[in-house]
Amino acid sequence: MRNSLRNFLRFAVVFLCLGATRIAYGIDIPAASHRQEDVNKAVASMMSGDRVLVPAFPPDGACWSQQSTWNLPVNGQVIFAGRDKSTIIDCYKPSADKFHTAGPLIAIYPTPVGRNRVSGFKLKGRASSSNYKYALVGIYGQNKEWRADNFDVDLTEAVYPDFNWAVPTGFEYWGHVTGVMDHWRLYLADRGALFIVSYNNYGGAGTEGDESWAAPAGFGGPDFLFAEDGEIHNAGNGGVVNDCYRGGKWVVRRVKLYGASFGQTHPTGGSHRGRGCRGWEAYDIEVFPGGNGKSNFNGFFLSSGSGVITNVLSHPGALSNFITLHNMRFDTKTYTQEAVPYGWGHYPSTYDLVDAPLDQPGMGQSDLLTGAFPNVRNAATGCTAIQPCVNPRQKREGVWLWNNIWHNPNMGGSEIAVYEPTMVEGRDYHRALMPGWSPFPYPHYLTLDNPGPPPATPQSLRLDSL
């Protein structure tokens, strides 16, 4: 009876509201309160096109002490009352050990199709009431039109002095999720990041990012996770917008960063079998010193993949180095590499070109690699790691930098600091416009009131000739 009435109401909504800006024919579901159990209950009741509307929180926010799992239906949305009225405090502490990474406070599984959205909230990490987590919110799966907007992430109290390598993070993305985070603010005490992205299940296949590396990068197109129209405010000087693993791809644009870097990638060889970050774009960015008046070591810690860096303004004292280029399989100081076939091996190995390591900065599309160590094989040639032809014949797509301004008065840094001799200017990195590149239309189409289909990937790129 309840479902029959619900379906009747849906029909009435469709009939009466044709031409409205709603993206689907659902209904609004008011959560009974701001409490975690009431929001979870409302989300669990959603059907296609529904919106859960969460009422305002108490002025000081509210502790959420269990892990929430939200399975969002096609075009489902969760809309909070506003970031100044909806502060979710992380009180999820599943272990007495403060270093416990059992998963995020909120685990979201968007539908593979349709447009999913969460909006109008504030996340507050607090070491005194929770365990260390890689991220407060996790988004998992294959959704291609994800949006998180008008939110704050406050990590100023998520500080774990005994784990000086631990970086508190707002969001983690696993699988192959694309879309946009827009109109956001991140607050840090020193270290921390807005998001981590992995394309470890690219197109629904694989676990390590190989499929992403075997596909065209799609520069200027929609196959990226975008972070735009945001700000980082850091009381220290060790923040960053993101990290990136296992074939992930990201775009950071139109942001202002105080005490934070605009990019970071994780290398192949930095996560055992996992491949490094596939591609990235950073542009229309301003970088300022942190709240302590000190500069970040670099603007981009670049250790994997190809992409563009343009229209970045680094104000005086913001960055000691503009970008740093790293091939971490060349140097044993950062990541110890297991020998082939039980690991990628130190450069050079059977996976590398004669003059360039696998997936180092500037490297791009490759043959598809499959399997786990010690049975990794080249799917195109059929060769395994004990045969020289396992090399995936990787293309050079390049690191492209142009129209950037870096102020570095007497700091002793470099505009481009190259750490290993395997990276060569004019071959792997270029002080020039990427041939044929144009940015994805701004603002991101998912931020519009009535978004149409995604703009197509530009067809004018000319990277095959490099």
pLDDT tens-digit map of 376-396: 999 999 999 988 899 999 999
pLDDT tens-digit series, residues 131-171: 888 899 999 999 999 999 999 999 999 987 777 667 889 99
Question: 14-59, pLDDT tens digit by residue?
Answer: 333 333 334 446 999 999 999 999 999 999 999 999 999 999 999 9
What is the model's pLDDT at position 334?
73
Q: 389 vs 408, which has greater pLDDT? A: 389
- pLDDT tens-digit map of 279-296: 999 999 999 999 999 999
Is the confidence at residue 83, as pLDDT, over 70?
Answer: yes
Over 80: is that where the pLDDT of 101 sits? no
Q: Is the pLDDT of residue 226 over 70?
A: yes
Residue 96: per-residue pLDDT: 82
pLDDT at residue 193 tops 90:
yes
Q: Has residue 462 got a pLDDT over 90? A: no
- pLDDT score of 450: 87
pLDDT at 187 over 70: yes
pLDDT band at 464 (very low <50, low <70, confident <90, very high): low
Q: Which residue, chain included where needed, has tokens 């956001």? A: 184
Q: Where are the domains of the chain?
A: 51-447
Give the mean pLDDT of 259-263: 97
pLDDT at 347 over 90: yes
